[in-house]
Amino acid sequence: MTAEGKQRIDKWLFFARVVKSRSLAAKLVSGGSVRVNKDKIDQPSHGVRAGDVLTITLDRRILVYKILSGGTRRGPADEARTLYEDLSPPLPAKDGMSRLDGLPMRDAGSGRPTKRDRRQVDRLMLGNDEDPE
């Protein structure tokens, strides 16, 4: 962080590994998906400091991070986790069901015809037991 303890929001998001690149961080901020202390920001140059609370909307998730310190580099994930405290709401319970449990089931063999099935249909249509090929 600089002398007064502020750092650009796009740099901090990049250092904290919220996004993969600094340009993606700038697009995220410019798109209005980031709030600092409940105030919506749209400038990637907005300064943040330790103690600020970020609310980030990312991929149908809401992330709430309290900034503990500014970063000096984009280091490993363990180092990035020391930059913030995760205050995000817990994910909704799945009720013991997987994503595929609600889909209708299909009987075995009732899908697309196989090459063998096509040959059997061709034999029936020609009226003989010879292979048409």
The model's pLDDT over 61-119, given as tens digits with 9 standing for 90+, comes to: 899 999 999 999 999 999 999 999 999 988 776 666 666 666 677 677 777 888 998 89
Q: How many domains does the chain have?
A: 1
**72 lies in which domain range?**
7-86
Domain CATH number, residue 74: 3.10.290.10
Cα 28-38-77 angle, rounded to 5 deg:
50
Higher-pLDDT residue of 1, 68: 68
Model pLDDT, residue 117:
86
Do 117 and 91 contact (CB within 8 A), yes or no? no
Q: Assess if residue 27 is contained within a domain.
A: yes
Q: Assess if residue 99 is contained within a domain.
A: no
Q: Assess if residue 66 is contained within a domain.
A: yes
- Buried b / exposed e across 89-100, counting CB within 10 Å, b at 16+? eeeeeeeeeeee
Model pLDDT, residue 107:
76
17-70 pLDDT, tens digit per residue, is: 999 999 999 999 999 999 999 999 999 999 999 999 999 998 888 999 999 999
Q: Assess if residue 34 is contained within a domain.
A: yes
* pLDDT for 2 beyond 60: no
Q: Assess if residue 14 is contained within a domain.
A: yes
Model pLDDT, residue 114:
86
Model pLDDT, residue 96:
64
* Residue 129 banded pLDDT, cuts 50, 70, 90: low
